[in-house]
Structure 1
Amino acid sequence: MKQELRRLVIARRNALAETVRETKSEIIYNKLTGLPAWQQAEVVMSYVSFGSEVTTHALIKGALAVGKRVAVPLCVREGRCLIPSEIFAFPDDLRPGTWGILEPRQECLRPLDPQLIDLVIVPGVAFDRKGNRLGYGAGYYDRFLKTLRPGAAIIALAFSEQIVPDVYAEDHDLPVDMVVTDEEVINCCGYYRRREQGNA
């Protein structure tokens, strides 16, 4: 069921015209930057958008411009893990890496302790209203999110077309705190559920 849902939602997202995705991404950006979790965060980690995902390029540039410390993920295929790496310039510090996604260049790799991160902006294929996330199937973020300090916020960005009734979450899946879409901000109370599970 997960694989079929993944295929259907990616196709739905890909079907959006580029201009529509750009407009929706700008709306999402404005909603996100108005949230206290964003405004209070000093150290932010964000995915670097690829393909038809909600774009994060303006988000990353904006965070750097206002003096936030910003990290982006480096995907390490061996062990399927993410390394948060601090960047000082976007996109100058990056180059196409795993699957063509922009990642830190070797000479710009600056690993950052996950415990220092206040807020993580995560990607995903689909989300339900409980904050459960359907990723791309490799498990990189599932493993990484468990390394964050208690109290770190996890916020997902998604087009409204990516919200579904159920993503068939499993017990080990970690929910996000909020999902910001072009239509609404969905508060999911993910932090409290992670704490109950012993993962916060």
Structure 2
Amino acid sequence: MARYASSPCFLHELQPGYRGHNAPSDPVAWSDIARWRKGERKRLIDDRRSVPPDERRALSDRIAEKLDKVIGSLEGRLISLYWPIRGEPDLRSWMTARIRCGAQIALPVVIRKGWPLEFRAWRPGEPLERAAWNILVPSNGPAVQPSVVIAPLVGFDAASYRLGYGGGFFDRTLAAMRRKPLVIGVGYARSRLTSIYPQPHDIPMDVIITEE
């Protein structure tokens, strides 16, 4: 069962009319939700980093197996993945194997704070550089529009809402995309929350995949 750094119950006490995603955007309620999310974010990241590397690799392999079933045929699919940080599931072996099978891969790039992400095409052997949060990104790949976006998550809930790192990059990007991709959140089952208390700017994943 998930443990909480601070109980989310106080949100209802401060905002009796709170009804989740459809609730009005109230500055007081949002301030407390943001504070709660920050605490949960730290707890969940610390928790997953405490998992031994061998166990994390095994969990990542089980997640990768499920990705193939969800995505299906790779023909004509351009898949955005990510370079793992802070104990995220490492799907780079899966990515390399899918490239051998003919898949096209892109990696997300932070262009500027408050802007949508840019997706750049990439293949193993092409140059990478360090960018925001010291993440490796393609140095000069062309900007592309993926048909599948795989987003790492810090936490998630039963309604498929994703708790990320707090920058809002994926929500902002998905809202700005001309064609909606298949959006897959990936993470560990231990990161499940009762709710992330979604706000109007939060966009749910189409599906969330864990090792379970």
Whether the TM-score (by the shorter chain) exceeds 0.5 is yes
The superposition leaves residues 65-85 of structure 1 with CA deviations (integer Å, 9 ceiling, x where unpaired) of 111121101111344431100
2:130 to 76, 90, 96: 96
Aligned length: 177
Alignment of 1:136 onto 2:155: no
Task: Give the greater-gyration-radius structure (CA).
Answer: 2
User: SS at the partner of 1:28?
Assistant: helix
Identity %: 25
1:54-93 mapped onto 2 (5 Å cutoff): 54-89=89-124, 92-93=126-127
Helix, strand or coil for the counterpart of 2:194?
coil
1:172 aligned to 2:206?
A: no
Is contact 2:74–2:102 with CA below 8 Å preserved after alignment? Answer: no
Where does structure 1 lack aligned partners over 5 or more consecutive residues? 184-200
Work out whether residues 37 and 119 of structure 1, in 8 Å CA contact, stay in contact via their aligned partners in 2: no
Q: How does 1:145-160 map to 2 (within 5 A)?
A: 145-160=174-189
Residues 83, 109 of structure 1: CA spacing in aligned structure 2 closer, same or farther, 3 A cutoff? same
Return the offset for 1:57: 1.0
Q: Secondary structure at the match of 2:143?
A: coil
Q: Which moved more, 1:147-156 or 1:13-22?
A: 147-156
Deviation larger for 32-41 or 14-23? 32-41
TM-score normalised per structure 1: 0.81
Residue 13 of structure 1 corresponds to 48
Partner of 2:59: 24
Structure 2 length normalisation: TM-score?
0.77
The answer as to whether partners of 1:38 and 1:119 remain within 8 angstroms in 2 is no
Deviations along 1:69-113, whole A, 9 cap, x unmatched? 2110111134443110001225x43222211111111xx33111x
Distance in 1, matches of 2:72 and 2:40, equals: 30
